[in-house]
Structure 1
Amino acid sequence: MAQVEYKDLLDAGVHFGHLTRKWDPRMAPYIFMEKNGIHIIDLNKTLASIDEAAAAMKGIVRSGRKVMFVATKKQAQEIVTEEARRLKMPFVTDRWLGGMLTNFATIRKSLKKMQGIEKMMKDEATYKSLAKRERLTVYREKEKLERVLGGIADLTRLPAALFIVDVKREHIAVAEAKRLGIPVFAMCDTNSNPSDVDYPIPANDDAYKSIRLITLAIGKAIEEGLLERKQDKDDQRLQEEEEAKRAEDVKTAKAEGETAVDAEEEISPVVAEEAEEQED
């Protein structure tokens, strides 16, 4: 499990919330105190939330399903993109297209279109046969599609869960996931509504260090889930090989037993004949 300590949270500034006048009262259970007009998040609650979210996330990944990372705010884009790519998980860091989950069939058409353009551009003869203006149009369209959909290019079905950095900013993604019954793991600052998500992690969602720490903790849990899934598959493969070997041994033993019986049946008449000759 991802080991995050109290000091790590403190050093990363995870405890700094928003101005008291911007708070959401539903975050009250996660707020420790108010200082200089700013709410301070209870880091003990944050630690407990990270552990709970990491355990649930590991279980989802271990079952072989995908987790989509969503973070379109500037300070979160780089770290989320890096971690999602490292784990080979889908991600959205440019902007959330309305219907990305609820209208996934249309999104898949756009993905196929992007793949078609890439294939055409690789075929130099076809691409160079286009007029200069057409090539420029195709190139710009490819860039636009890659920027928006590049992170989900390999996604063939809906993700099993979402990890979101700022639920207030990504409210459309949260609403779509809620509508489809997809669990949401999210960093919730003091201006957020934690009841909108399944696994809220009370934390500063504006500071780069805070975002990095929480994202890496969730990434570590996903990595552990992937390793456990690989181990499960290896164990299953070994078990199947052992069962196949046992079945082969039984088959061989049975065949050898039948051969021995046949040989005995062949020898018996000869022995009987010799016995009769001795008697005579």
Structure 2
Amino acid sequence: MAKVEVKELLDCGVHFGHLTRKWDPNMAPYIYMERNGIHIINLYKTAAKLDEACKALSKIAASGRKILFVATKKQAKDIVADKANKVNMPYITERWPGGMLTNFVTIRKAVKKMASIDRMKKDGTFNTLSKKERLQVDRQRAKLEKNLGSIVDMTRLPGALFVVDIKREHIAIKEAQKLNIPIFAMVDTNSDPRKIDYVIPSNDDASKSITKILEHTTNAVAEGLAERQAEKAAKVAAVESEAKAKEAKEAKEAKKEEE
């Protein structure tokens, strides 16, 4: 896993916090100084925390659990969708559906509804509907796609949540806390880090900063997934080897009996 360099964080403006008057005192341990009325984040602490988060994310991915990425703010949503997609992880970039975690059964029902509409279109049932009914079904499908698009394949609760801007995504944070789901997050100087399991002190407003943090975290997820694949391949090879050895032994014994 590539070690996080302070210079790359600096180049992407990860150190720029919020106006000092908007700060949360609980972020004090991560603040280096104040400059022109703005808090500057200690990037040595960011690098250490990011390394720690990456190791944990890699382990979760290697275990086969999904990591749900959450970012609904304008400057983060496209970045998160792109990065999460590349590692085949679910993400929410539109409005957080209330009860997404705490009422997961209902959310799964909505996902099943979306799947049933897709089946209707495949088997021709959709074409038997009236024009008005087809329009209603299409609208319903579009709405479900907008809210639940990337979580269609999420058959169980995620193993972790990764959040950009914990103030904005406070409902998601509360739901994850209730269910003891580990929370990883980019935390700016205006937020309370105490509710987060893996704090990454960073500028959660600038697209360059968001891209840099997501780059490292999703690379760690990719490494965990590769490790899982390698373990699976090794197990398959071991089973095949054992089967061949058994086959050879049985053939040898059969030959002896013939003699």
2:83 is the alignment partner of 1:83: yes
Q: What secondary structure does 1:101 align onto? A: coil
Name the counterpart of 1:20. Answer: 20
Structure 2's unaligned 5+ residue stretches are none
Matches of 1:252 and 1:169, distance apart in 2: 67
TM-score by length of 2: 0.96
Rg larger in 1 or in 2?
Answer: 1
| Structure 1 residues 186 and 258, CA gap change in structure 2 (3 angstroms) | same
What percentage of aligned pairs have identical amino acids? Answer: 58
Pairs within 5 Å for 1:49-128 = 49-124=49-124, 126-128=125-127
C-alpha distance after superposition, 1:153-192 (max 9, x if no partner): 1111111111111111111111111111111111000011
Task: Tell me, in whole angstroms, the C-alpha distance in 1 between the residues paired with 2:85 and 2:142.
Answer: 19
Corresponding position of 2:128: 129
Give, in whole Å, the separation in 1 of the partners of 2:200 and 2:256: 66
- Whether contact under 8 Å (1:16, 1:40) holds in the other structure is yes
Kindly indicate whether the alpha-carbon contact (under 8 Å) linking 1:188 and 1:200 is maintained by their aligned counterparts in 2.
yes
Correspondence for 2:8: 8
Gaps of 5+ in 1: 261-280
Contact map agreement 1:90 1:155 (CA 8 A) in 2: yes
Moved more, 133-142 or 218-227: 133-142
Query: How far 1:63 sits from its partner (Å)?
Result: 1.0
Higher alpha-carbon deviation: 98-107 or 244-253: 244-253
Question: Corresponding residue for 1:176?
Answer: 175
Count how many residue pairs are aligned between Structure 1 and Structure 2: 259
Q: Distance in 2 between the 1:242 and 1:130 partners?
A: 55
* Residue type at the aligned position of 2:148: L
**Kept after mapping to 2: 8 A contact 1:2/1:54:** no
Distance 1:255 1:145, change over 3 A: same
2:194 counterpart of 1:195: yes
Cross-structure match for 2:207: 208
Rounded Cα–Cα distance in structure 2 between residues aligned with 1:203 and 1:46: 7
Distance (whole Å) between structure 2 residues aligned to residue 121 and residue 257 of structure 1: 62
TM-score w.r.t. the length of structure 1 is: 0.89
What SS does the corresponding residue of 1:88 show, helix, strand or coil? coil
Per-residue CA deviation, residues 36-56 of structure 1 (Å, 9 max, x unaligned), is: 111000000010011100101
Structure-1 residue corresponding to 2:138? 139
Tell me whether 1:48 sits opposite 2:48 in the alignment: yes
Query: Structure 1: how far apart are the matches of 2:4 and 2:135?
Result: 49
Matched residue SS, 2:100: coil
Q: Secondary structure at the match of 1:13?
A: coil
45-54 or 2-11, larger mean C-alpha shift: 2-11
Which secondary structure state, in structure 1, belongs to the residue aligned with residue 161 of structure 2?
Answer: strand
Q: Equivalent residue for 1:234? A: 233
Report what 1:247 is aligned to: 246
Maintained 8 Å contact 1:68/1:162: yes
- Letter of the 2:96 partner, please give it: W
Secondary structure of the structure 2 residue equivalent to 1:97? coil
